[in-house]
Structures are given as structure tokens and as C-alpha cells.
Structure 1
Amino acid sequence: MELQQIKDIKTFVQLKTKDDRSGHGMDHIERVVRNAQKIAQTEDCDHFVVTAAAYLHDIADDKLVTDQEQAYQEMITFLQTHQISTERIKHIMYIIQNLSFSQELEGGKATLSIEGKIVQDADRLDAMGAIGIIRTIYYGGHKGNKIYDPEIPPRTLQKKSDYRNESTVINHFYEKILLLNERLNTAYAKKIGQKRQRFLEDFLEEFLEEWD
């Protein structure tokens, strides 16, 4: 039963992400799911909730959809029609609505369950390291942002609206990506994060040296 429900959720997500050109497509989703499942093996958690939330975590992201509330409701309706319990649906939706970096800027860090912490870590790991660099550049190009401008310093983001105001691609590393490592929750993710953080720092050092 649960295996079929996960397969149905995956199919739903594939349909929703098939036209993505922002770096939040199915390849990203699959990596987050794999990361989440690996982390889940090291924690006492509900593996179904972890996998379902990992698949669904970007489907109603306000930088990807025009009507976030409609996207949330469509997701809830989908889960209900696939006989997923009300308790699990509430759990999955809470994770999705409270794991993002921008949400932390808006309302502070949410109190997440271990399942939420796992999915949050899995998502953040995919924004770090080599893949994180590619995704940041890809998204910046998608939004038409400059690669770099030494006259535009990185900002210290205070609220969600600041985050949504685009900056340069390189600034995004300093404004968000480099900050993720210290926000990881689980021991497994922290171990991976250390390596990816070093790679990010080395890349930026090399980039700035070449730019100058």
C-alpha cells in the first residue's frame, strides 16, 4: 500500500515538474529523496513521511508557482484521494511549509520533527557542493541575474522580501548558500556538508582570483 502511494506521489511530482527550467526539476527532487532516505536510515523516523515530503517539498514553492495556496490545496486533495491518513497529511504539509530558508527569514526557524529536519537537510545538501554551484548558476541565468558585480556587495537578508529581490549569482552564495552548512540538523548531513562547504569556499576563492 505505502509503496504504491509513494509511486503515485512520484508520478504526480513528475507531472508538476516536467517543464521546470529553474533547477528545481525532477533531477533535483530525486537527489533530495535519495539524500533524505540515506539520512533516514540513521534516525528513528517515519520513512513514508520523509519520502513523501521529500518528493513534494518544492511543488508549492512560491518562487515556482503563482498561486501558492492553490498549489497547497491541490496537494492535500491528491494525498486525500490516495488514502493517506489525515495525521500524515498534516505532518507532510507542515514540513513542506516550514523547511525553506526564506521561511526562516520570515518567521524564524520552525520547530521541525525529525522527519522535517531530515527533508530540510536533504534539500540543503543539494544546494551545496558541485551540484549546488551548478544549480545556483543555472537559476541565476534563469532569472537573468548578473554573474558578478564587485560594486554590488552581498546583503545580510532580514526578511523574505529581501530574499526574493534578485542579486548577482555570486552574491547568492554569500547571502544563502554558504550559510546552509551551519543550519544542518543531523549528524549524517553535517558530515557531508563539511566536504561540500570546503568545495564551495575553494570555488569562490578561485572565481574571485580569476575575476581580478
Structure 2
Amino acid sequence: MANLVERVAGQVKARFLAESSGHDWHHINRVWRLTRQIAAEEGANQQIAELGALLHDIADWKFHGGDDSVGPRQAALLLGQEGAPASLIEPVVDIVATISFKGAGVATGMQTLEGKCVQDADRLDAIGAIGIARCFAYGGHAGRLMHDPDVPPVMHQTAEAYKASKGPSLNHFYEKLFLLKERMNTPSGRALAEARHQVMTDFVEQFLAEWGES
């Protein structure tokens, strides 16, 4: 187990170390660590969960023209090249294919306990202090305004609408980040989300006060 996981970690680290949109190796490594913790507490298969965490952003649709099939294909290719058996590749690829948030009105449930652990870990890294930093890092990367009071948040009802959204970064808190606490899959994830959610609500309240809106 450890040998395969470590080899995959080395490949992912080399590929993403210099990424600057908030989806870098450090993000992946944090999700990996959180996944190990949650999977241990929830009794999940550690190998599947850890590989899912390491490969969950291998080719995020945001950087591939909205195509969410690239990530699963690249994950399967990398695992195959590392000699992973089909019995391991299949559940890991399923995690990569189904992990992403796709809009406030879109269900993105995970079918396996391992997938639930990885999704919770990824969502935990999207909230709290680091989540705030990542939100604005990606917004700057994508050329989005920090905030525009004349552009209200949109609760997207389809994946297509969510992917096409170009709204300001602050809207993302309402459109996604504030929703994640209630969408945690595991007791471990829900417990960890509480404090991080409060950090975000306090930040947005202070942000709007300084902007002059409250």
C-alpha cells in the first residue's frame, strides 16, 4: 500500500508544486492528511481513500474547458502506469469523477465511504481561513472581481450554469462555501466543519462592514 501511495504522491507533487490558483500540491497534501484522519475515524479503506485524495484534482474541470471526464481518465492512466490493479483503479476513479461541487441545486453524493471521506476532506480545505485564501486566489487567477454589490449571488440549479458562472469571488461564499457545512458526509467531517464555517461567516461580516454594506 504505502509504496503505491508514495509513488503516486511523488508524481502529483511534481506536477502541482508550482500551481498558483489554490489547487496546488499543498492543497492536495492537506486534503490527503485530512482524508487519512477522517478515513481512520470512519473505518474506511485507507488505500482507496488516500489515492482518491491524491488524485482528486489531477485534472480539474475548471482548467480543462469544463470537461469533467479528463480527471478520471488521467487518474486511471496514472494508476495503470503504476501497476495498480483494476479492483483498485475503479473505486479511485469513481471518487475523482464524482467529488466536485456542481451547484447549489445539484446533488453530488458519494456512493462509497472512501469517497465520502475524500469529499469531506476536500470541502474542509475549501472553508475556514485557508478556504478564504483559496477563494480569492482562484478569483484572481480567473480574472474575477473581489466583490460587486450590484451582482447578486446565484444559487445555480444545474452543473452547466455553475460552470458558466463568472460572478465575483465574494458571491462564491453564498453560492458554495456557506453550504458545505451541511453537506458533510461523515460525523468526523461535520465536527471539523463547525469552526471553519464560523471563521468564514465572521470574515464575510467584517468584509462587508469595511466595504460599507453593513
Conservation of the 8 A alpha-carbon contact between 1:65 and 1:71: no
Identify the range of structure 1 (77-86 vs 167-176) with the bigger mean alpha-carbon deviation: 77-86
The aligned amino acid for 2:3 is: Q
The aligned amino acid for 2:200 is: L
Structure 2 gap ranges (5+): none
Q: Which residues in structure 2 correspond to 1:169-208 (within 5 Å)?
A: 169-208=169-208
2:33 corresponds in structure 1 to 34
The aligned amino acid for 1:58 is: D
**Shift in CA distance, 104/98, structure 1 to aligned 2, threshold 3 Å:** farther
Conservation of the 8 A alpha-carbon contact between 2:16 and 2:24: yes
1:141 corresponds in structure 2 to 140
Give the Å deviation of 1:166.
1.3
Identify the range of structure 1 (122-131 vs 93-102) with the bigger mean alpha-carbon deviation: 93-102
For the residues of structure 1 that align with 2:68 and 2:110, how far apart are their CA atoms? Answer: 22
Alignment of 1:97 onto 2:97: yes
The aligned amino acid for 1:127 is: A
Q: Which residues in structure 2 correspond to 1:1-212 (within 5 Å)?
A: 2-66=1-65, 69-102=69-102, 108-164=107-163, 165-212=165-212
For the residues of structure 2 that align with 1:177 and 1:183, how far apart are their CA atoms? Answer: 10
The aligned amino acid for 1:78 is: L
Identify the range of structure 1 (85-94 vs 158-167) with the bigger mean alpha-carbon deviation: 158-167
Report Cα offsets for 1:163-208 as digits up to 9, x if no partner. 2221001101111111111000111111110111111111111111
Q: What SS does the aligned partner of 1:102 have?
A: coil
For the residues of structure 2 that align with 1:101 and 1:71, how far apart are their CA atoms? Answer: 14
The aligned amino acid for 1:180 is: L
For the residues of structure 1 that align with 2:186 and 2:102, how far apart are their CA atoms? Answer: 20
Structure 1 gap ranges (5+): none
For the residues of structure 2 that align with 1:74 and 1:130, how far apart are their CA atoms? Answer: 30
Give the Å deviation of 1:91.
0.2
Q: What SS does the aligned partner of 1:127 have?
A: coil
How many residues were matched structurally? 210
Give the Å deviation of 1:40.
1.1
Q: What SS does the aligned partner of 1:153 have?
A: coil
Name the TM-score, length of structure 2 as normaliser: 0.92
Identify the range of structure 1 (191-200 vs 124-133) with the bigger mean alpha-carbon deviation: 191-200
**Shift in CA distance, 111/119, structure 1 to aligned 2, threshold 3 Å:** closer
Give % identity.
36
For the residues of structure 2 that align with 1:183 and 1:96, how far apart are their CA atoms? Answer: 18
**Shift in CA distance, 111/23, structure 1 to aligned 2, threshold 3 Å:** closer
The aligned amino acid for 2:118 is: V
Give the Å deviation of 1:14.
1.7
Give the Å deviation of 1:71.
4.8
The aligned amino acid for 2:16 is: T
